Amino acid sequence: MKILVTGGAGFIGGNFVQYMVNKYPEDTIVNLDLLTYAGNLETCKSIENKENYKFIQGDIADRKFIFDLFEKEKFDIVVNFAAESHVDRSIESPESFVRTNVNGTTTLLDACNTYGIKRYHQISTDEVYGDLPLDRLDLFFTEETPINPSSPYSSSKAAADLFVLAYHRTYGLPVTISRCSNNYGPYHFPEKLIPLIISRALADKNVPIYGDGKNVRDWLHVYDHCEAIDLIIRKGKVGEIYNIGGHNERSNLEVVKNILGILGKSESLIKYVEDRKGHDLRYAIDPTKIESELGWKPKYSFETGIKHTIEWYLNNEDWWKNIISGEYKKYLEKMYKNI
């Protein structure tokens, strides 16, 4: 089988292409990525010379390029990770989120319709459901929870999901969608909470917590996410949505204190900063459907996963130090200039 993975030089896509190339030597994995600020070919270094792997630089929203590629390559499966993914950037400038997340997705869907595929899988997010209140721990996102996104990022992802479902209903395109909770693990870009805290704490810099730090995220190790996607594209039912999460809810403050504790750093590094606009309070996934229908179970608890992740950042300083010293430095200086 020939599998197109878009966004495979990013965090989750990069972990997924490595997983697929190593697990399925008989399949060909084509990694298509525009290499925006978030894309990094160093992430795919371990597989770059494998015979069943190919990298192509390109834009999922470039119609002519995508149609030419599909005509030439004749993909069996498409897994779309490519996206603008950072909520804070979407608040500053939403336009690129519409272009990549919405127009890029519909361009891929049109190419799938025109050239035919066996399966199109959309990597979505639990953020399309909006948020849950902090004082209702009995509430979880199920696949039936109405979408109600809060940020320009989650709105663009929700719009994309609606197009994916419409292409199934209208044209019979064989699609699936997965909505996962917050991921963490190797190759996570240091603008996101966990790698930002690890990299700043290691440099004895203040670590920023938005608002009062009580917002809750439901953390899943990226390897568990990769296994879930693999199961869905092989065994998931066409037209269905699958939520992915492992019941690892933590407040931001708990996460930050946990990381500082493991690194042996003082909690005095914590700096409370202005809250994010429209900051979602709590995300929490009910994974009953993927567990009961596909037999998926996460392998990592947050305790083992966060230790593994911190070890990875300690052993792979070159990967993240190169990012921090490059173009991204300007973003960090702008975002966190007062702390």
Closest alpha carbon to 266 in 257, 277, 253? 257
Residues 6+ apart with CB under 8 A from 261: none
Decide: 197 and 259 in contact? Cβ < 8 Å. Answer: yes
Residue whose pair of structure tokens reads 């042996």 in the numeric block:
264
Set 19, 53, 120, 153: catalytic member: 153
Of 119, 157, 192, 289, the residue at the interface with ligand TYD (CB under 6 A) is 192
Select which of 84, 126, 249, 280 is catalytic. Answer: 126
> Structure tokens of 300?
């990592």
Which of ligand NAD, ligand TYD, none interacts with 187 (beta carbon under 5 to 8 A by kind)? none
Is 204 marked active-site? no
- Return the sign of the alpha-carbon dihedral for residues 149, 152, 156, 162: positive
User: CB-wise, 161 or 208, nearer to ligand NAD?
Assistant: 161
Instruction: Give the interface with ligand NAD as residue ranges (CB under 6 A).
Output: 6-7, 9-13, 33-36, 38-39, 59-61, 81-85, 100, 104, 123, 125, 157, 180, 182-183, 189
What type of residue is 182?
N
Among ligand TYD, ligand NAD, none, what binds residue 178 when CB lies within 5 to 8 Å by partner kind? none
249 annotated active-site: no
Cβ atoms 263, 308 nearer than 8 A = no
- Pick the catalytic residue: 127, 131, 161, 224? 127
19 forms bridges with which residues in the sheet?
none
Kindly tell me the sign of the dihedral angle through the C-alpha atoms of 175, 219, 4, 148. Answer: positive
Find the shortest distance in angstroms from Cβ 262 to ligand TYD.
Answer: 18
Instruction: Work out the angle between the directed axes of helices 193-202 and 317-325 (0-180°, nearest 10).
Output: 90
Neighbours of 110 (CB within 10 A): 18
CB 118 within 8 A of CB 267: no
Give which of ligand TYD, ligand NAD, none residue 157 binds (C-beta under 5 to 8 Å, depending on kind): ligand NAD
Q: Choose from ligand NAD, ligand TYD, none: what does 208 bind? Cβ within 5-8 Å by kind.
A: ligand TYD
The site string for ligand TYD over 214-253 (x = CB under 6 A, - otherwise) reads: -x-x----------------------------------x-
Picked from ligand TYD, ligand NAD, none, the partner binding residue 43 (CB below 5 to 8 A depending on kind) is: none
- Rounded CA separation 285/146 (Å): 13
Residue 81 binds which of ligand TYD, ligand NAD, none (CB < 5-8 A, kind-dependent): ligand NAD
Task: Tell me how far apart the alpha carbons of residues 239 and 81 are, in angstroms, rounded to a whole number.
Answer: 18
CA pseudo-torsion sign 228, 229, 232, 233 = negative
Annotate each residue in 270-309 with x if it binds ligand TYD (CB under 6 A) or - if it does not, as one string.
Answer: ------x---------------------------------
CB of 191 to ligand TYD, least distance (A): 6
User: Contact between 87 and ligand TYD (CB under 6 A)?
Assistant: yes
User: Does residue 328 touch ligand TYD according to CB under 6 A?
Assistant: no
Binding piece for ligand TYD, criterion CB under 6 A, among 31-39, 41-49, 59-67, 189-197: 189-197
**By CB neighbour count within 10 A (0-12 exposed, 13-18 middle, 19+ buried), where does 115 fall?**
middle
Q: Does residue 153 have an active-site annotation?
A: yes
Residues of this chain that interact with ligand TYD (CB under 6 A) are 87, 182, 192-193, 196, 208-210, 215, 217, 252, 276
Active site residues: 126-127, 153
